[in-house]
Amino acid sequence: MLVDAQHINKTFLGSKVLDAVTLQIDSGDRIALMGSNGAGKTTLVRALLGFYHIDSGDLSVLGHDPVKERVEVLKHISFIPQLPPPVRLSIEELINFIGKTSDLDPRQIIKEAAKMDLDIAEHKSKPFYKLSGGMKQKLLIAIALSRQSDLLIFDEPTANLDPKGREQFYQLLSLIPEERSTLFITHRLDEIKALTNRMIYMDLGKVVEDEKI
Ligand SMILES: Nc1ncnc2c1ncn2[C@@H]1O[C@H](COP(=O)(O)OP(=O)(O)O)[C@@H](O)[C@H]1O
Ligand SMILES: [Mg+2]
């Protein structure tokens, strides 16, 4: 089991953002996580990544505590945030850094990026934060796909992509090996349906529906 969450609770400023969430993620799960804005989707993901402490309940990722053993947990999960972080490194520095810390060949990232028509060589000396929204997203996706993580989490990944970028992105996702798990936070079920085998709906901090499709 990749993720085991048992009755986890999280309160922000007196309001319950995660309300007794119980959820398991197994290898091979391809999840569409849906629900209106404010439902707690991003908070749930941030808890899995060890960015937030939970108030109560049990949460483990591959048997590890995401807060106490965050380095270990992040070796197994790739996360594409909704808003790309304001990284000042150049593209070249960034992919070399990721290559070192994730023990992978930066050329792999370049190869994945090229599949989405992002030419790293052309932009290598630009700082990451100066790329367009779509280019940042593509680079983050290329990094996540190169790291060969057990679980890839995408928080509304196509929000900044144009229709062509979106199509290339879905094409790439269809190439992710079966044994990897994916979790997409999305409002576009129609686009992602063919790539998922499980739908989870959240509302007001609760999982209100969880079905295999
Ligand atoms: N760091 C934070 N501090 C205070 N409130 C937060 C924080 N993060 C999220 N929230 C609140 O938690 C609720 C759920 O947010 P979020 O998990 O981002 O929802 P979703 O991703 O489903 O749109 C919202 O009401 C949001 O304002
Ligand atoms: Mg969100």
Question: For residue 67, what are the contacts with CB-CB under 8 A and spacing of at least 6?
Answer: 50, 53
% of the chain with per-residue pLDDT over 70: 100
Asked if residue 41 has its Cβ within 6 Å of ligand 1, the reply is: yes
The amino acid present at 76, given as its one-letter code, is H
Q: What is the mean pLDDT of the chain?
A: 92
| Tokens of residue 202, six digits | 């959240």
Question: For residue 121, what are the contacts with CB-CB under 8 A and spacing of at least 6?
Answer: 110
User: What pTM did the predictor assign?
Assistant: 0.89
End-to-end Cα distance, the chain: 19
Please check the confidence at residue 159 and state whether its pLDDT lies above 80: no
Asked if residue 39 has its Cβ within 6 Å of ligand 1, the reply is: yes
Asked if residue 174 has its Cβ within 6 Å of ligand 1, the reply is: no
pLDDT at position 180: 86
Asked if residue 42 has its Cβ within 6 Å of ligand 1, the reply is: yes
Please check the confidence at residue 84 and state whether its pLDDT lies above 90: no
CA dihedral 164, 197, 190, 38 (to 10 degrees): -100
Please check the confidence at residue 12 and state whether its pLDDT lies above 90: yes
Task: Determine the average pLDDT of the residues in 177-191.
Answer: 88
Test site for ligand 1: of 18, 42, 186, 207, most ligand atoms within 8 A of the Cβ? 42
pLDDT at position 210: 97
Give, in degrees to the nearest 5, the angle at Cα 179 between 175 and 184.
65
- List the chain domain ranges: 3-212
Give the confidence band of 98 by pLDDT, cuts at 50, 70, 90: very high
Question: In this predicted model, what pLDDT tens digit does every residue of 40-64 receive, in sequence order?
Answer: 999 999 999 999 999 999 999 999 9
CATH number, domain 3-212, options 3.40.50.2300, 3.30.420.40, 3.30.1360.20, 3.40.50.300? 3.40.50.300
